[in-house]
Amino acid sequence: MANVYLALLHHPVFNKRKDVVTTCITGFDLHDIARSAATYGLKRYYVVNPLPAQRAFAGRIIDFWSDEHSLEFNWTRAEAFKLISIKADLDEVLADIEKSEGKKPKLVGTSAKEKGAVKFSDLAKEIKRAKGPYLILLGTGWGLTDEVFERFDLVLEPIKGKSDLPAVQAGYNHLSVRSANAIILDRLLGR
C-alpha cells in the first residue's frame, strides 16, 4: 500500500467573490484533521500558509499540545499532533515528501464542485496496489484556485449528500473542510 499524505492549503484559495486570498489557520483544523490523519494512518499532515504569523500561531498550538503537561493530560492529541508539519507553500510540501520517499507524490485534488471524475472506490483500489506516495490536497475558503488545479494528477469526485432533499436544500454542498476530510479519508482508507 502506498504512503498517503494530506495537505490543507490556505493559499492560493478563493474567497466568495472569487478573489485570490490567504485564509487563516484555525485550531479546529489542526486538532480535528490531525486526529483523522492519525486514525487513518497518514504519513504526514501538512498545514500550508505563506504568512509567517499564521505559521507561528500554528506552531504555538502544536507546542502547547506537545509539552509534558499536555502529554499527560491528553496523550492522544499529542500523538496526532506529531503528524503535523507547517509549510509556507505547496512546493515545500512536495520537496519534503520527495526527500522522504525518493519520488514525487501523485497529487490528488478535491473539490465540492464537479471538477473531478475519479471515483473514491477506484482511487482506494489504486492506493492499495501502488508503491509510490499520494498527496491529497484540501482547500480552505471557497476552494482552491485554478493554478493549483492545473498541478493535480487527478481530482476526486465531489462528496454528495442525499438526492431527495426538499427544494430549499437541493444543491447544497458546503461541508466544513474538517467534515469533508473525514469523509474522504474514510472512503479512501477506511475498512
Q: What pLDDT does 183 receive?
A: 96
Q: What pLDDT does 161 receive?
A: 75
Per-residue pLDDT reduced to its tens digit, 34-88: 999 999 999 999 999 999 999 999 999 998 887 776 666 666 778 899 999 999 9
pTM for this prediction: 0.93
Q: What pLDDT does 10 receive?
A: 98
Per-residue pLDDT reduced to its tens digit, 112-166: 887 778 999 999 999 999 998 999 999 999 999 999 999 999 999 998 876 665 6
Output the CA–CA distances (angstroms, integers) from residue 108 to 67, 73, 80, 101, 163, in the order listed: 34, 36, 22, 17, 26
Q: What pLDDT does 74 receive?
A: 66
Q: Which helix (H) or strand (E) holds 168?
A: none
Domain positions in the chain are 4-189
Place of cell 473542510: 177
As a CATH number, domain 4-189 is: 3.40.1280.10
The alpha carbon of residue 108 and the mean position of all alpha carbons in its chain are separated, in whole angstroms, by 10
Q: Which helix (H) or strand (E) holds 45?
A: strand 44-48
